[in-house]
């Protein structure tokens, strides 16, 4: 158990940040899932629109420190390649 006031505060802060970051990751996964669903359905226009919405959300994940930049670059690249192949 935390003994100092600072350590107690860090525990509270970490709990709040965990909730925020979990919600952010969930939102990112939802956007990526929309792109993948549109690609599997073969709907190029919907896939392009979904990709346009997903890219800033992924970039925001990097900016907020929730995801690693190389992970996001890889995901964007693979999604873009799949949409272009339609």
Place of tokens 């599997």: 40
Considering its fold, how many domains does the chain have in total? 1
Q: Above 90 in pLDDT, residue 3?
A: no
Residue 33: the pLDDT is 97
- Tell me how far CA of residue 80 lies from CA of 11, 16, 24, 33, in angstroms: 40, 34, 22, 13
The string of pLDDT tens digits covering residues 20-63 is: 999 999 999 999 999 999 999 999 999 999 999 999 999 999 99
Domain span at residue 9 reads 5-84
Q: What is the value of pTM for the model shown?
A: 0.85
How many Å from the N-terminal Cα to the C-terminal Cα in the chain? 55
CATH number at 17 reads 1.20.58.110
């Amino acid at each position: 158990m935390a003994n100092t006031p600072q350590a107690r505060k860090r525990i509270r802060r970490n709990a709040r940040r965990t909730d925020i970051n979990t919600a952010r990751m969930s939102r990112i996964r939802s956007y990526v899932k929309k792109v993948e669903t549109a690609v599997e359905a073969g709907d190029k226009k919907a896939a392009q629109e979904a990709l346009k919405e997903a890219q800033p959300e992924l970039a925001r994940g990097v900016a907020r420190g929730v995801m690693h930049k190389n992970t996001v670059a890889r995901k964007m690249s693979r999604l873009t390649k799949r949409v272009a192949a339609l």
